[in-house]
Chain A
Amino acid sequence: MKEITSAAFLVVFGGTIMALARRIPLGVPTDPLGPRAFPLALGAGMALCGVLLAVATLAFRAQPGRAGLLADAGEDEEVEAGPFSPGRLIGAVVATAGYLAAFERLGYLLATPIYVAAIMLIHGGVRGRGLVIAPLATTVLLYAAFRYGLRIPIPDGILEGIIRW
């Protein structure tokens, strides 16, 4: 199923790129290829990969006795790693997006410990003091490394003007 989904995605994505590439101006007459050709060819290439992948998958499955030989990509990795938890993945993505949204507005010093604690909670298996010590230690160490070690200004957000280090 993953192969067919991948093939369909490639066809749609490649087709979209081709459509978008057609809107790029042709360029100047002295440039025989122009700025449109390269992305157009790449879009076509991706769509073609999708078609070939679908054909290869369907042709292989159509032959009885051989379908079992076609393993879906990624399955072996899932055996090595733990079971997939979609809630954890979504939680991590949402928490990171929230962190980025708060990074400049709220400021690094307030947003980072909350984010690190949130990711630890989403990951699971940590309770008590660990949930306080690790976020605070990470925040302070990173702040010291960037602000004082590399002399890169990290956003203070709402603490701007309040803190004087």
Chain B
Amino acid sequence: MNFLQSLLTGFATALQGWGLLVMVAGVAWGIIGGAIPGISGAVAMALALPYTFGMDAATALVMLAGVWAGANYGGSIPAILMRMPGTPGSAAALMDGYELTRQGHASKALGISLVCGTIGGLISIIVLIAMVVPLGNLVLAFGSPETFALALFGLTLIAGLSEKSFLKGLASGFFGLLLTTIGLDTLTGSIRFTFGRSELLSGVDIISIMIGLFAVSEMFWQIAHPRRVAMEPVSRAHTAFPTFAELRAVGRATFVGTIVGLIVGIMPGAGATASSFVAYNEARRWSKRPDLFGKGSMEGVAAPETANNAVQGGDLVPTLALGIPGSNSAAIMLAALILHGIVPGPFLLSKHPALVFTLFAGLILVNLLMIPVGIVILRGCLVALRLAPPALVASILAIIVVGTYAADLFILNPLLALIFGIVGYGMRVYGFSAAATVLGLVLGFLAESELRRSLLISLGSWTIFFTRPISAALMVLTFGVLVYPAVLHIRDRWRLRQTLAGTATGPAHK
């Protein structure tokens, strides 16, 4: 079957049965969830995960992709209307978006955000499709050593996910890897860290842990640190489509946003927040009217919003081609695969081509659905924004408990979510990275099993990782990625020392 046929079959599969309804529901929940401050795209996806239990893998992935895309736009609604970003990625759009609202152009700003975001999302999906297939063919040459080297390289992303401390990020990643060792060892049948509990023999439920680390901890954080901010949205706002002339005026910013979003998305660990701010700055640099930025520039809304959405396609390149999630949202996509019995990794495309092509088709469809759903759902977002935070937090916690219980009709799952909610809260307070733990969780099984298989093949010789070209190249790359930040850190420390020494001796020279 050729590429086009596969894609057309993907469209047919994505649309069969309840497909369209599931996509609409995913996008709608994503927009509403994203609009509620405190529920990021990843949290909205984590909350939607239990509802995908009864679906097949392709429908579940497409629904989650819809939530992800929807949340990217949803976060911009409170950013534009209330100067309160719903998701971190929409923070850059509030600078000019809220300024436009103050000037009475809220509906126009929402329209620019929706249309440019959709354009960015669609282009990024096309680039994703163009890149994943060749990369997927490359990994056919992979054996156990290459797969382990790739998993190891993926784990170096911890450096990018550790915002506050590399050491704490590394420890967080180790913690995630450690969690995957709980249960029966598949190679030898040894029992590890079950403490005599038969429920743990099959390992811990990754989904419950993720929901605990992301969603429960966030709810506990909101309860423990209550914000008393008046949330009074602009109740008469609607979505006004930009005219052709307006779209032409923001064309350059949209282009810049798409390129930035794609590049930043492909770079693991960077994410939507970085991309939207970089896009904002670059759009100002390339704009004919940089003076308008910060004062209600349409370009100032278009660029970050396009980048924010274009990240999704870029992010999915390493996720689908290599099995390395570049962000929390991508990690949840991979967790959904595990949930449906599919092992994520470099062989996803070769082993499950129909699934990947259905996801491609679904991604295009959910991005197209963004516009009609976005227009209709705006009223719902305004209602959600008026909900009292206590009712919202309490309802979300109840949804989490019922959702995680529904997975296996097993009370251990919500209990795990509670335990990891507390763990996640503690990690946040002490500056550890929950995202790094999730990365370890997703890659842990692959890393250990492929490492041991490789050593089994080589009769215990570690040189196997350095005598095969792809594996050796990945090892060198991993080493470089680990050493480069350390070199930069030492250089910065040296410069700081020089500066401080200069400041200390400065007056004496006068």
Among B378-422, those with CB < 8 Å from A are 388-391, 393-395, 397-399, 401-402, 405-406, 409, 411, 414-415, 418, 421-422
The answer to whether the Cβ of B177 comes within 8 Å of any Cβ in the partner chain is: yes
Q: What are 26 A-B pairs at a CB distance below 8 A? A: A2-B430, A6-B168, A27-B185, A27-B188, A27-B190, A32-B455, A32-B456, A32-B459, A39-B178, A46-B174, A49-B167, A73-B431, A74-B429, A85-B224, A92-B219, A96-B216, A96-B401, A112-B398, A117-B394, A120-B394, A124-B226, A134-B391, A135-B394, A150-B51, A150-B406, A152-B54
Contact status B394-A17, CB under 8 Å: no
Kindly list the 10 A-B residue pairs having the minimum CB-CB distance in the complex, ordered from nearest: A73-B431, A32-B460, A81-B225, A123-B390, A119-B394, A89-B224, A134-B391, A35-B185, A49-B171, A27-B188
Contacts of A46 in B (CB 8 A): 171, 174-175, 178
Q: Is B432 an interface residue (CB 8 A)?
A: yes
CA distance A127 to B189 in the complex (A): 55
Distance (whole angstroms) from the CB of B30 to the closest CB of chain A: 17
Residues of A within 8 A of B399 (CB): 138, 142
Q: Mark A130-142, 1 if CB is under 8 A from B, else 0.
A: 1000110011001
- Bound together, the chains give a CA A106 to CA B161 distance in angstroms of 42
A110 shortest CB reach to chain B, Å:
13
A153 on the interface (CB 8 Å rule)? yes
Task: Say yes or no: is A31 at the interface (Cβ < 8 Å to chain B).
Answer: yes
How many A-B pairs with Cβ below 8 Å?
A: 212
Instruction: Tell me if B188 and A86 are in contact (CB < 8 A).
Output: no
Q: Which residues of A contact B455 (CB under 8 A)?
A: 31-33
Q: Majority SS of interface residues in chain A?
A: helix
- When C-beta atoms are compared, the residue in chain A nearest to B192 turns out to be A24
Any chain B CB within 8 A of the CB of A161?
no
Give the size of the chain B interface in residues (CB under 8 angstroms).
Answer: 68
Collect the chain B residues with CB atoms within 8 Å of residue A117's CB: 394
Most buried by B among A17, A53, A56, A138: A138
B192 touches A35 (CB 8 A): yes
Q: What's the nearest-Cβ distance from chain A to residue B303, in Å?
A: 25
Task: Judge whether A30 and B431 touch: CB under 8 Å.
Answer: no
Query: Does B164 lie at the interface of the complex (its beta carbon under 8 Å from any beta carbon of A)?
Result: yes
Is there an interface contact between A66 and B402, defined as CB atoms closer than 8 Å?
no
CA distance in complex: A28, B188 (Å):
7
Once the chains are docked, how many angstroms separate the CA of A72 from the CA of B429? 10
Q: Are B388 and A33 in contact (CB under 8 A)?
A: no
* 7 more CB-based (< 8 A) A-B contacts, given A126-B390, A134-B391: A2-B431, A50-B171, A52-B167, A92-B223, A92-B397, A96-B418, A125-B226
B455 to chain A, nearest CB (A): 5
